[in-house]
Amino acid sequence: MKSNTRDRILEVFKKSFETNNLHKVKLSGYESPEEDLKAVIIKPVLIKDTKVLQYVHSYATRDVTKNKELKDGLDHLEEMLSSFNNFSMVTTEHVYQWNSKTSRLFKSANSQAVKTNQDHDKQKKYMLDQQSPYLKELGITNASGNIIGSKSHKFKQINKYIEIMDSVLSSADLSDPVRIHDAGSGKGYLTFALYDYLKNTKDRKVEVTGIELRKELVEKCNALAETCKYTSLKFIEGGIADQEAIEAEVLLALHACDTATDDAIALGIKSNASVIVCSPCCHKQIRKQLSKGTQGSISPLLKYGIIKERQAEIITDVIRSLLLEAHGYKTKVMEFISSEHTPKNLLIVAVKSKSLQDSTNKLQEVQNIKKEFGIEYHYLEKALKTI
Ligand SMILES: C[S@@+](CC[C@H](N)C(=O)[O-])C[C@H]1O[C@@H](n2cnc3c(N)ncnc32)[C@H](O)[C@@H]1O
């Protein structure tokens, strides 16, 4: 590589990094035959709020990752430029390409640049307050309140959830303060977000309780609630099914594992909750029973593993929805967030209805489905003790 090309690359690389415009650098076509080095990818990353350069050296069977500050990173890039045959660098506005055959540095407009700007504009419409302290403590934003690149999907997911919850809770008849229980609260992303949104953005009186099996998560979340001065947010340790004394007005369960979703729905129904919202996770309980139903006309529906798995998910969630309706809820099933972000994207939203529902009919529909697919029982039936 000619020295003026090399200097130009280093100059653009440095400037793009400093102005937050550097996306990615790729070097390939390593010249040394002794090493099985396939490519090196360089990206800016945030490590504990400090921006550094991440170098991933990809060998035939392993990757080696090293983080470097700008000065060392520039030295390392300069060294590598003399031993690779192909170089490309993507910045917000441009794409730079060089290879040893043409030996010229080509610069073209980055066709993704418009999209990047659009994404940036969209951020203004997000419902979450990016400056809220819990987002920083949970590692979603940095000290300046900017979303950390690798967490942008999580941030969008939380926003979408808040958008849905805002609309569901606005249309329900709830007390003041509204009492919300989040069953299987985990690290508390959604619990904190909902609390902060209702309390600090909507100025609503709320009491939010996370229920979680794992002691260390409960301790962390309670400590974080204290740091953020979220006085009516607390987390309790325990199993969802063991919560006899709880009176949930709004019962949430997001990605609670397998039958923990049923325990949460049962807790909501037993508490006569006005709103029950759940996003099911894995669906093992019904899947196991489907194996017995591989006779007769429906057997082709269960022939292929992946299709069978999806059937199990559909049957599990349809029965959940029917049982909710049998207990007086108007139920909707919707997509929580695009499947591009997570396959666990179904949301069951149930709001207690003031008008009487035809429960016999709904229970009969459950029995019909079970008979058709050779299902002995759905865990939610047991949790509700309706059988
Ligand atoms: C996949 S995480 C989801 C966390 C959170 N709801 C979210 O969507 O980010 C599921 C959490 O539920 C908890 N969990 C599973 N079964 C539970 C049960 N029966 N009672 C209480 N917590 C449970 C797990 O320990 C885990 O932290």
Residue identifier of the C-alpha nearest atom 12 of ligand 1: 184
Mutate to test the pocket of ligand 1, among 257, 344, 380 (most ligand atoms within 8 A of CB): 257
Among 158, 180, 185, name the best residue to mutate to test ligand 1's pocket (greatest count of ligand atoms within 8 A of Cβ): 185
Which pLDDT score is estimated for 35? 75
Flag whether pLDDT at 114 surpasses 60: no
CA 323 from chain center: how many Å? 27
Q: Is the pLDDT reported for residue 122 higher than 60?
A: no
Looking up tokens 């959830």, which residue turns up?
161
At what angle are helices 152-171 and 189-196 packed, to 10 degrees? 50
What pLDDT does residue 120 have? 43
Indicate the pairing of strand 206-212 with strand 178-183: parallel
Distance from residue 262's CA to the centre of ligand 1 (Å): 12
3-state secondary structure at position 53: strand
CB distance 337 to ligand 1 below 6 Å: no
Q: Is the CB of 184 under 6 A from ligand 1?
A: yes
The CATH homologous superfamily of the domain defined by 122-384: Vaccinia Virus protein VP39 (3.40.50.150)
Looking at the chain, the whole-number percentage of residues with pLDDT higher than 90 is 56
pLDDT higher than threshold 90 for residue 268:
yes
Which of 151, 164, 189, 212 has most ligand 1 atoms within 8 Å of its beta carbon, as the pocket-test mutant? 212
Average of per-residue pLDDT across 8-28: 92
- Residue 341, pLDDT score: 55
Which residue has the CA at smallest separation from atom 1 of ligand 1?
Answer: 255
Candidates 226, 164, 223, 219; CA nearest to 197 is: 164
Instruction: Indicate which residue's Cα is closest to atom 4 of ligand 1.
Output: 186
Confidence at residue 119, expressed as pLDDT on a 0 to 100 scale: 46
For the segment 120-139, the average pLDDT, to the nearest whole number, is 77
The b/e string for 272-294 (b: 16+ C-beta within 10 A; e otherwise) is: ebbbbbbbbbbbebbbebbeebe
Rg, the chain, Cα only: 27
> Is 383 a pocket residue for ligand 1 (Cβ < 6 Å)?
no
Tell me the average pLDDT across 24-34: 86
User: 237 φ, ψ to 5°?
Assistant: -90, 135
Least confident of 68-72, 148-152, 216-220, 293-297: 293-297
Contact 52, 44 (CB under 8 A): yes
Q: For residue 175, is pLDDT > 50?
A: yes
d(CA 299, CA 373): 9
From the CB of 190, is ligand 1 less than 6 Å away? yes
**Strands 250-254 and 178-183: what pairing?**
parallel
The whole-number pLDDT of residue 117 equals 41
pLDDT tens digits for range 218-238: 999 999 999 999 999 999 999
**Which residue, by CA, sits nearest to atom 18 of ligand 1?**
239
In the Cβ-directed half-sphere of 263, how many Cα atoms lie within 13 Å? Answer: 24
Which of 151, 153, 213, 259 has most ligand 1 atoms within 8 Å of CB, for mutation?
Answer: 213
Q: Is 143 in the pocket of ligand 1 (CB under 6 A)?
A: no
Sketch the domain layout of the chain as residue ranges.
3-118, 122-384
Are 100 and 29 in contact by the 8 Å Cβ rule? The answer is: yes
Task: Return all residues near 182 (Cβ < 8 A) that are at least 6 apart.
Answer: 190, 191, 194, 208, 209, 210, 211, 252, 253, 254
C-alpha to C-alpha distance for 26 and 17, rounded to whole angstroms: 15
Listed residue (201, 202, 180) closest to 191, CA to CA: 180
Residue 255 Ramachandran class (φ > 0 left, ψ -120 to 50 alpha, else beta)? left
**Which residue did the predictor score with more confidence, 146 or 123?**
146
Indicate the length of the chain as a whole number: 387
Q: Is 7 helix (H, G, I), strand (E, B) or coil?
A: helix
- Vertex 237: Cα angle to 236 and 243 (nearest 5): 80
- Residue 118: the pLDDT is 40
Residue nearest atom 23 in ligand 1 by C-alpha distance: 184
Has residue 156 got a pLDDT over 80? yes
Checking if the pLDDT of 34 tops 90, the result is no
Written as one string, the DSSP assignment of 296-352 is GGGGGGGSSHHHHHHHHHHHHHHHHHHHHHHTTEEEEEEESS-TTT-S--EEEEEEE
Instruction: Please tell me if the CB atom of residue 215 comes closer than 6 angstroms to any atom of ligand 1.
Output: no
Average pLDDT taken over every residue of the chain: 88
pTM above 0.85? no
Residues 299-357: tens digit of each pLDDT = 788 888 888 888 999 999 999 999 999 999 999 999 876 555 556 689 999 999 987 77
Look at residue 62 and tell me whether its pLDDT is greater than 50: yes
How many angstroms separate the CA atoms of 23 and 26, rounded? 10
> Which letter, b or e, does each residue of 87-110 get, where b requires 16 or more Cβ atoms within 10 Å of its Cβ?
bebbbbeebbbbbeeeeebeeeeb
Q: Diameter of the chain by CA atoms?
A: 82
- Cα of 184 to ligand 1 centre, how many Å? 3
Q: Please indicate whether residue 278, judged by its CB atom, sits closer than 6 Å to ligand 1.
A: no
User: From CA 387, how far away is CA 382, in angstroms rounded?
Assistant: 6
Helix (H, G, I), strand (E, B) or coil at 246: coil
Q: For 30-34, 47-51, 136-140, 270-274, which range has the lowest pLDDT when averaged over its residues?
A: 47-51
